[in-house]
């Protein structure tokens, strides 16, 4: 792999940038692999990279039906955080944040990670008490977090409406300094380049149309639009298409699919240094390097595989944004995009083995998929390589719904769309 560096930039500039190598190969599928990963998004590519790096398994294929990062990896608001308090979620997302901090150096690729910090607003004294409890749990796990009073919050986010006449009065916030944003495309490209350099085959325009099984039920490979490929280990990391791909193997999952839409405004001069989350609803906003305000809210309230939202949801999200920042009503909305969220019954992911020998699952991420990318790849790689779930994801197994060990970060009952 051609290493990127300041010296390499200078060298290529002198030669008209004619010496750059391809970031990754475009190989034809081989008849057989030690493992197949379905899905060329962040999770699938991270899994392949860590299988090669941590477990010495390079005879791995990543199969992507379209182009790399064309699914949910490139259809989110780019935010990362680890402010979870449910046992299992706390440790997993803290590990993910640790991996985010050194990711660009590890991959030799600038993922444009910005630890700008996230404020989650409190709109009542009771909500501040809830945040105080959350902060204590996070501190007990060694996670950097602080409670911010109203005066300090007004100083740090001067554009925020903290006046007594605000539509939703603000009482303070909980702040995680290491939270922030990452360039989502760069994450996919960085993992792809690093995995390819270790010998992994990344095969685009290769849709999986079937999962083959032996007489005893174990997985033997996949059928694709580019021909059959054999393997005794198949991992599924396809985000909102998890239910459909698992159905190819005869596996039904407790999932619902909903569209989640993200929005970006026209470019503005710097107005927002942090990520800000509305506490009286589900809405979050940050400012990109290009100047646009990137924001999003809740999923659509009906099941769908459409990658576009509807105007009522736009109105809800923008209304929440203007409740926090009433100085923005004349800002123009530039574009929006939608991704498919696979929502579980308790709001936590599904990871690990399945009842089908040789078939492994990484899905059900609800709103949490992008921020989980490094840890999901790390743990799923271990699971595929060893055949047993990584200790950090043992709690995410399918059997938790059978045993009753559910993981509700925000207790809402068995209503996927509410998590």
Residue 92: inside a domain: yes
**Residue 1 pLDDT:** 82
pLDDT digits (tens, 9 = 90+) for 87-97: 999 999 999 99
Domains in the chain, number? 2
**Residue 30 pLDDT:** 97
**Residue 78 pLDDT:** 92
Residue 226: inside a domain: yes
**Residue 410 pLDDT:** 73
Q: Looking at 321, 343, 365, which one is the last position of a domain?
A: 343
Give 74-77's long-range contacts (Cβ < 8 A, gap of 24+). Answer: 74/184, 74/185, 74/188, 75/262, 75/307, 75/337, 75/338, 75/339, 76/184, 76/260, 76/262, 76/296, 76/339, 76/369, 76/370, 77/181, 77/262, 77/284, 77/286, 77/294, 77/295, 77/296
Q: What is the residue range of 304's domain?
A: 118-179+256-343
**Residue 306 pLDDT:** 87
Q: Are residues 260 and 165 in the same domain?
A: yes
Q: Are residues 262 and 339 in the same domain?
A: yes
Residue 302: inside a domain: yes
Q: Are residues 370 and 391 in the same domain?
A: yes
d(CA 392, CA 385): 15
**Residue 412 pLDDT:** 65
Q: Are residues 152 and 264 in the same domain?
A: yes
**Residue 48 pLDDT:** 98
**Residue 415 pLDDT:** 67
Q: Which residues of the chain have pLDDT under 50?
A: none
**Residue 411 pLDDT:** 64
3-state class of 223 per DSSP?
strand
Q: What is the CATH number of the domain that holds 151?
A: 3.30.9.10
d(CA 7, CA 219): 48
Which residue reads 């501190």 in tokens?
139
Q: Are residues 100 and 201 in the same domain?
A: yes
Question: pTM to 2 decimals?
Answer: 0.95
Farthest-apart Cα atoms in the chain, separation? 69
Q: Are residues 331 and 350 in the same domain?
A: no
Q: Looking at 293, 309, 343, which one is the last position of a domain?
A: 343
Residue 127: inside a domain: yes
Cβ-based neighbours of 394, under 8 Å, separated by 6 or more: 352
3-state class of 90 per DSSP?
helix
Residue 50: inside a domain: yes
User: In the numeric block, which tokens belong to residue 146?
Assistant: 């602080």
Residue 223: inside a domain: yes
Q: Are residues 61 and 138 in the same domain?
A: no
Please check whether residue 223 is in contact with residue 245, taking contact to mean a CB–CB distance below 8 angstroms.
no
pLDDT digits (tens, 9 = 90+) for 134-189: 999 999 999 999 999 999 999 999 999 999 999 999 999 999 999 999 999 999 99
User: What letter does residue 324 receive in the DSSP assignment?
Assistant: H
Q: Looking at 310, 343, 376, which one is the last position of a domain?
A: 343
Please check whether residue 195 is in contact with residue 52, taking contact to mean a CB–CB distance below 8 angstroms.
yes
């Amino acid at each position: 792999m051609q290493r990127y560096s300041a010296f390499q930039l200078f060298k290529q500039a002198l030669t008209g940038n004619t010496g750059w190598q391809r970031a990754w190969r475009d190989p034809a599928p081989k008849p057989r692999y030690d493992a197949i990963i379905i899905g060329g998004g962040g999770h699938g590519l991270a899994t392949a990279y860590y299988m090669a790096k941590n477990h010495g398994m390079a005879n791995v294929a990543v199969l992507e039906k379209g182009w790399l990062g064309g699914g949910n990896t490139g259809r989110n608001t780019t935010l990362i955080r680890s402010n979870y308090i449910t046992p299992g979620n706390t440790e997993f997302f803290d590990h993910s944040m640790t991996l985010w901090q050194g990711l660009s150096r590890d991959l030799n690729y600038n993922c444009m990670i910005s630890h700008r910090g996230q404020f989650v607003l409190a709109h009542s004294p009771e909500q501040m008490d809830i945040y105080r409890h959350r902060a204590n749990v996070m501190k007990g796990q060694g996670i950097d977090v602080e409670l911010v009073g109203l005066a300090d919050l007004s100083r740090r986010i001067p554009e925020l409406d903290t006046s007594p006449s605000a539509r939703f009065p603000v009482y303070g916030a909980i702040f995680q300094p290491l939270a922030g944003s990452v360039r989502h495309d760069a994450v996919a490209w960085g993992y792809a380049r690093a995995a390819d350099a270790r010998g992994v085959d990344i095969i685009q325009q290769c849709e999986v149309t079937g999962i083959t099984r032996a007489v005893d039920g174990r997985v033997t490979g996949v059928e694709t639009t580019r021909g059959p490929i054999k393997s005794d280990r198949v991992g599924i990391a396809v985000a909102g298409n998890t239910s459909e791909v698992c159905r190819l193997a005869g596996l039904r999952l407790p999932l619902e699919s909903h569209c989640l839409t993200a929005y970006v405004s026209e470019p503005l001069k710097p107005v927002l240094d942090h990520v800000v989350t509305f506490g009286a609803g589900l809405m979050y906003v940050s400012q990109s390097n290009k100047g646009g305000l990137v924001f999003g809210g809740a999923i659509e309230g009906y099941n769908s595989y459409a990658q576009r939202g509807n105007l009522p949801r736009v109105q809800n999200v923008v209304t929440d944004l203007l409740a926090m920042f009433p100085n923005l009503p004349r800002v123009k909305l530039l574009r929006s995009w939608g991704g498919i969220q696979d929502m579980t019954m308790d709001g936590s992911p599904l990871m690990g083995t399945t009842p089908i020998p040789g078939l492994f699952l990484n899905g059900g991420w609800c709103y949490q998929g992008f921020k989980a990318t490094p840890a999901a790849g790390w743990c799923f790689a271990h699971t595929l390589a060893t055949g047993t779930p990584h200790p950090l994801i043992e709690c995410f197994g399918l059997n938790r719904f059978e045993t009753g060990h559910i993981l509700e970060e925000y207790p809402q009952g068995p209503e996927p769309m509410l998590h």
